[in-house]
């Protein structure tokens, strides 16, 4: 496959600290790839290197067969949306959208028409003559999106575009960005530290840590089979155990890993009064445990349970059935050995 965007061992340091340690990535045309990682993992720096706002110390960035090295940001045909919106405060929403076309010297009429199209695309036609400070955060970010799309970039970079917004707006804008991206078949790199955002929006997710991509795959692959302890912890409430802990819980183990992970919803809870035999079988195991605490998170109920000296987080569907299990109660856990994941060593 000839990839649309190619990153080849991209390196970047700030002073003595290496921020990007040789990043490789191939992105296909029309694909939305998410760079997911904690703050300081280098994901934003990578984006800025692609945009040309930071200078590479090593490696190559190739977009549609053209090496971007040495090109100024304005020559790269790359669009970018910032976390802080970065709308020009002295221009109206419409003028902001037109800005890139104005810099290209396009005619006033052409600019106007294109701006209207894009305002319609982000559903803000009526805000053309409004100044940014009169728009809500979500509206500002949609204008910023329209502004970067107006010049028809070859690649769209989104740098945590939703982080400065309220939870509800964030969710709406999430699906809106995704649908616009798909409609325009816009190749997009999306940076976030929010795993839910990454899982719901992307074609492919790359988990970054300490300046390298530690794992990449579809959202399902990433969620179901984290490869390292870092990925498992970062992807959510995975229970990460040492080998001895996993041994105590499961009796016997496959493989020779030092650490194992267990998805919180893969464990079934059984009340003491129920008959556990229905859960027995090959590769299954029943263990006794004590409930430390219970919290209801809407559609799921999260239990904190201690079993065989291991603290576990277990999620169950909130079907009203298990609510009766209070704190410090004894329960039985039905474990499925096939759900236990072996984790690779960090940095392997």
Partner 1 sequence: MISKKKRYRLRGRLWVLGLVPFAVMVLAFQLAPVWSMLSGSFRSDADSRWTWHNYYTALNSPFYLKAIENSLLISAYSSLIGIVVGLVCAYSVTRFAPTVRDRILMLSNMTSNFAGVPLAFAYIILLGSNGVFTLLFREWGWNVFDGFDLYSWTGLTLVYVYFQVPLSLLLLYPSFYGIREQWKEAASMLGASSWQFWRSIGVPILAPAIFGTLGILFANAMGAYATAYALVGGNYNLLAIRIGSIVSGDVTNQPNLGSALAVLLACTTLLAVSLNAWMTKRSARYLTGAAKAPPRKGFVRQRGTGVALAEAKEGTG
Partner 2 sequence: MTERNQAGWGHRTLQSLLLLYLLLPLAATAVYAFAGDWQDTVLPKQWTLEWFESLFQDTRFLEALWNSLYLCSISVALSLAVMIPAVFVLTVYAPRLESLMKGIVVLPYAVPGVVAAVGLIRTYSGGPIDIAGTAYLLVGAYFVAILPYMYQGIRNSLLTVSAPELMQAAGLLGAGPVRAFLTVVLPNIVPGILVSTLLSFSVLFGEFVLTNMLVGAHLQTVQVYLSRRMGESGHLASAIAISYFAFILILSMVLMKLGQTKGRRVRG
Site residues, partner 2 (CB under 8 A): 14, 19, 44-45, 48, 54
Rounded Cα gap, residues 127 and 20, in angstroms: 40
| H or E segment and range at residue 113 | helix 108-121
For the bound state, the minimum distance from the C-beta of residue 85 to partner 2, rounded and expressed in Å, comes to 17
Who contacts 274 (Cβ-Cβ below 8 Å, separation ≥6)? 332
For the bound state, the minimum distance from the C-beta of residue 45 to partner 2, rounded and expressed in Å, comes to 6
Candidates 9, 55, 69, 104; binder of partner 1 (CB under 8 A) is 104
Cα separation values, 283 from 19, 52, 89, 264, Å: 44, 53, 62, 18
247 binds, among partner 2, partner 1, none (CB under 5 to 8 A by kind): none
Site string for partner 1, 31-60 (x = CB under 8 A): --------------------xxx-------
Count of chain residues binding partner 1 (CB under 8 A): 33
In the complex with partner 1, which residue's Cβ is closer, 70 or 298? 70
Candidates 1, 72, 297, 348; binder of partner 1 (CB under 8 A) is 72
Candidates 84, 163, 225, 304; binder of partner 1 (CB under 8 A) is 84
| Contact call for residue 256 and partner 1 (CB under 8 A) | no
In the complex with partner 1, which residue's Cβ is closer, 161 or 289? 161
Beta bridge partners of 259: 242, 343
Who contacts 32 (Cβ-Cβ below 8 Å, separation ≥6)? 178, 181, 182, 187, 188, 190, 201, 202, 203, 204
Cα separation values, 53 from 70, 110, 210, Å: 11, 29, 20
44 binds, among partner 2, partner 1, none (CB under 5 to 8 A by kind): partner 2
In the complex with partner 1, which residue's Cβ is closer, 79 or 289? 79
11 binds, among partner 1, partner 2, none (CB under 5 to 8 A by kind): none
For the bound state, the minimum distance from the C-beta of residue 76 to partner 1, rounded and expressed in Å, comes to 8
Copy the structure tokens of residue 176. Answer: 């809106």
Candidates 42, 79, 138, 289; binder of partner 1 (CB under 8 A) is 79
Candidates 87, 146, 269, 291; binder of partner 1 (CB under 8 A) is 87
Cα separation values, 52 from 43, 74, 76, Å: 14, 8, 8
**Burial class of residue 139 in the structure, from the number of CB atoms within 10 Å of its CB (0-12 exposed, 13-18 middle, 19+ buried):** buried
Q: Cβ(97)–Cβ(147) under 8 Å?
A: yes
In the complex with partner 2, which residue's Cβ is closer, 42 or 94? 42
3-state DSSP call for residue 306? strand
For the bound state, the minimum distance from the C-beta of residue 53 to partner 2, rounded and expressed in Å, comes to 9
| Contact call for residue 296 and partner 1 (CB under 8 A) | no
């Amino acid at each position: 496959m000839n990839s649309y965007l190619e990153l080849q061992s991209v390196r970047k340091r700030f002073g003595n600290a290496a921020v990007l340690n040789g990043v490789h990535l191939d992105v296909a045309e029309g694909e939305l790839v998410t760079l997911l990682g904690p703050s300081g993992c280098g994901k934003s720096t990578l984006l800025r290197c692609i945009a040309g706002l930071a200078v590479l110390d090593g490696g190559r960035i190739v977009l549609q067969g053209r090496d971007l090295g040495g090109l100024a940001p304005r020559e790269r045909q790359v669009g970018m949306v910032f976390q802080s919106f970065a709308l020009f405060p002295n221009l109206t929403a419409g003028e902001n959208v037109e800005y890139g076309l104005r810099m290209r010297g396009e005619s006033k009429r052409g600019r106007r028409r294109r701006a209207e199209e894009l305002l319609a695309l982000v559903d803000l036609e009526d805000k053309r003559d409004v100044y940014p400070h009169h728009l809500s955060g979500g509206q500002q970010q949609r204008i910023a999106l329209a502004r970067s799309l107006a010049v028809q970039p070859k690649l769209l970079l989104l740098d945590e575009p939703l982080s400065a917004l309220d939870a509800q707006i964030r969710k709406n804008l999430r699906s809106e960005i995704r649908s616009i991206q798909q409609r325009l078949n816009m190749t997009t790199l999306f940076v976030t530290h929010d795993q839910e955002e990454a899982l719901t929006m992307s074609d492919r997710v790359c988990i970054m840590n300490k300046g390298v991509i530690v794992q990449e795959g579809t959202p399902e692959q990433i969620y179901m089979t984290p490869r390292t302890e870092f990925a498992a912890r970062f992807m959510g409430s995975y229970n990460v155990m040492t080998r001895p802990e996993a041994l105590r819980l499961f009796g016997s183990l496959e493989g020779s890993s030092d650490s194992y992970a267990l998805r919180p919803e893969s464990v079934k809870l059984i009340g003491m009064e129920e008959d556990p035999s229905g859960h027995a079988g090959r590769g299954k195991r029943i263990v006794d445990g004590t409930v430390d605490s219970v919290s209801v998170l809407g559609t799921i109920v999260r239990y904190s349970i201690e079993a065989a000296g291991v603290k576990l987080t277990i999620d169950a569907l909130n079907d009203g059935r298990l609510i009766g299990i209070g704190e410090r109660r004894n329960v039985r856990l039905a474990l499925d050995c096939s759900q236990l994941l072996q984790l690779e060593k960090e940095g392997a």
